[in-house]
Structure formats: structure tokens, C-alpha cells
Chain A
Amino acid sequence: MKVTLEYFGMLREAAGLNQEDLELPGGADARALVQSAAERHGEPLRSLLLSAEGVPHPWLLIAIDDVVESHQVELAQGSHVLLSSPISGG
């Protein structure tokens, strides 16, 4: 299935693009999408997305069709996923 992944903040900077379409197996969850993006782009994006064990960081915000969901939620064909790492003030 095809999903659209949009990057926000420093993730966009690390990925070098605003958004991209990714092909995933049917039934894949948000965690698999993050791992796929990390594998596709490598560093520095990988470290921003995954722990040393290859698991998505717990602070990653994943909004699927504009609703923030858990990392285990199943994706659907045509899902739009917004991926963000928390930012702060100053």
C-alpha cells in the first residue's frame, strides 16, 4: 500500500524533503513506516527517528490524517502521516 509521509521541523531538515510517498506491506503500522523512512534516508534522520535498538523514539509525534495516534496504529492505503519530533521555546 502507498502512504504519504510528511516531515516537520528538524526531521524535514534531516530528510532533505517535505514529504514523500512510501510503499509498505498491507497491515503495516506507524512504527514500520518510521523504520522504513530511517532505512531509506540513513543518518542523520535515522538517529532522530530510532533508538540504538531500532525502535521509534517515544517522543515522536505521529499524526495520521491529522489525528495523533500511537506508534502501533495500523496504516491504510492512502494514509497521510505527519511525523514530528518535539521542539521548544526560547
Chain B
Amino acid sequence: MCPGELTDGDRSRYQWQLGVPGFGEDGQTRLKAASVLVSRVGGLGSPVAYELAAAGIGRLVLAHGGNLRPDDLNRQLLMTNDWIGKPRVQCAARRLRELNPELEVVAVEANVSDTNAAELVGEVDLVVDCAPVFEERYAMNEAAFTKGIPIVECAMYDLDLTITSQQRGRTRSLRELVPQPPVHWKREFPVFGAVSGTVGCLGAMEAIKILAGFGEPLWNRMLMMDLRSMSTRLVTLPTP
């Protein structure tokens, strides 16, 4: 059997999604062969990683530094109360393996930075940017553009969220859209777990569509949702 080829166990496990039009066994095989970097695995990255693990991604690289704090637990759904004081990313890896033992998980106890971005991005097929700090996001986005792989850009604040997908030659980069970090952006901001969970699920769906090659990813478009009023806008972004 070739690597990535579906087994009878796979067909049984993923039967609910194998019937999705445009996806099928070919899409599932692509997911099984795919490797995705998720940075970080907090409020936003937790549901991204969880949904990708559930969907049958073959390999996840998780990058997140620091130990779990009590105030992480309103939104970081891969964390558990008994893990407070221990490395977040190891808790995330443990939970993902419990969900899907077939998944290969690489847990990196560091955030993405200029020094490790090329190496981390170099070993994956797609990146989901769930990071809060613009310098970290620029490093990840520039590494993805250098390699030419897609990156899904997820963001949130209060009850608002935005999401778009980018790739060299197809869209503008993060730095072309946001030329410098907004001076007023703060590392800590108000948000509910239900908001980070919503944009996380959207980010996972974008990754699945791009990797499996179906649907219409958010190339040159940004979905903007206000969950306070449940209003949605899909704006067209400037092309490269």
C-alpha cells in the first residue's frame, strides 16, 4: 500500500465526509498525505488543529511557547485544567493523539519567529496563522510566500473575526495588506472562546478545501463577521 493510500479503517472513520461532493476518496487521500503548521494552538489554533485532526490530516506541526495559565481556559479548547503550569503545546499534542491515533503530531515548544520560521514552514504543505503578534505573523507569512505554499490568515477581536487565504503569485502577502504592525494592537484583547472557535473552524475548513482541491477558498477575498449583530461581509482584496 502506498503512503497516503486509504485503508478500510480510513473509509470507515471518515465515511461522513467522504460523501461531500467534490471531496471524496481523492480529497481524503490528499488530506492524509498533507502536513500543516498551526501556530499557535491557543483559542484560535486549538479548534483549527482539532478539526484538522478529526478530518484526517496526516501530520500536524504545532508551534506554541509557554506554559498553560488559568486564564487560557476560557478559549484554548485543547487544554485541560490539570495541565496548568505545563507546556501548552504538549497538552495540545496529547489531546490530538487521543482524538486520532493515526495522526502524526510534532510539538514545538516555541512560537514562530524570524529564526525558526523557514525551518518550520519548510516541512509543511500549508500554514494556518493563528498568532497574536504581527512580527510573528510576518515571519510565518514571509516564509510561506518564499516557499510558495498557502497560508490561511485568521484573526479576531471582541465578537469580530476576519479570515483570508494567501499564496505567492495568487494573492498579496500579509505585509502588502498590513505594511506595518498597528501601533495600538495589544497582545491581550477581549474575546470569547466561541468567537475564536468560530474563526478556527472557518480556518480549518479553508485548509481542508485548499489541500483537497475543492470549493472556493478565500483567495483575494476577506470574510469579515460581526457576531454581535450576526452580520457578514465578503470584501474583495487588491490582487498582486
Contact = CB atoms under 8 A, between A and B. Distances in A.
A48 B234 CA distance: 23
Contacts of A84: 162, 224
Nearest to A13: B158
A85 B158 CA distance: 13
Contact of A68 (B158, B161, B236): B236
Contacts of A59: 178-182
Nearest to B238: A68
Interface string B39-82: 01011110000000000000000000000000000000000000
A88 B133 contact: yes
Nearest to B183: A57
Interface string B108-131: 000000000000000000000111
A10 interface: yes
Nearest to A48: B184
Contact of B196 (A9, A47, A57, A90): A90
B179 A8 contact: no
Contacts, number: 99
A66 B232 CA distance: 11
Contacts of B131: 88-90
A8 B160 contact: yes
Contact of B179 (A58, A66, A68, A88): A58
Query: How many residues of A sit at the interface, in one of the four size bands?
Result: 20 to 34
A61 interface: yes
A82 B233 contact: yes
Given A18-B229, A66-B235, A66-B236, A85 B45 contact: no
Given A8-B226, A68-B237, A61 B177 contact: yes
Contacts of A57: 182-183
Interface residues of B, number: 45
Given A68-B237, A89-B132, A90-B132, A8 B178 contact: no
Nearest to A68: B237
B162 A87 contact: yes
Contacts of A48: 184
Nearest to A86: B178
Contacts of A24: none
A76 to B, nearest CB: 17
Contacts of A13: 158
Contacts of B238: 68-69
> Which 9 pairs, one residue from A and one from B, show the smallest C-beta to C-beta distance?
A90-B132, A87-B157, A89-B130, A63-B235, A87-B155, A89-B44, A67-B236, A86-B178, A9-B160
Given A87-B156, A88-B132, A89-B132, 10 more contacts: A12-B226, A59-B178, A85-B182, A86-B155, A86-B178, A88-B131, A88-B156, A90-B44, A90-B130, A90-B188
23 contacts: A9-B157, A10-B184, A12-B226, A47-B184, A59-B182, A63-B233, A63-B235, A66-B233, A68-B222, A68-B237, A85-B182, A85-B185, A87-B156, A87-B160, A88-B137, A88-B157, A89-B131, A89-B154, A89-B156, A89-B196, A90-B40, A90-B131, A90-B132
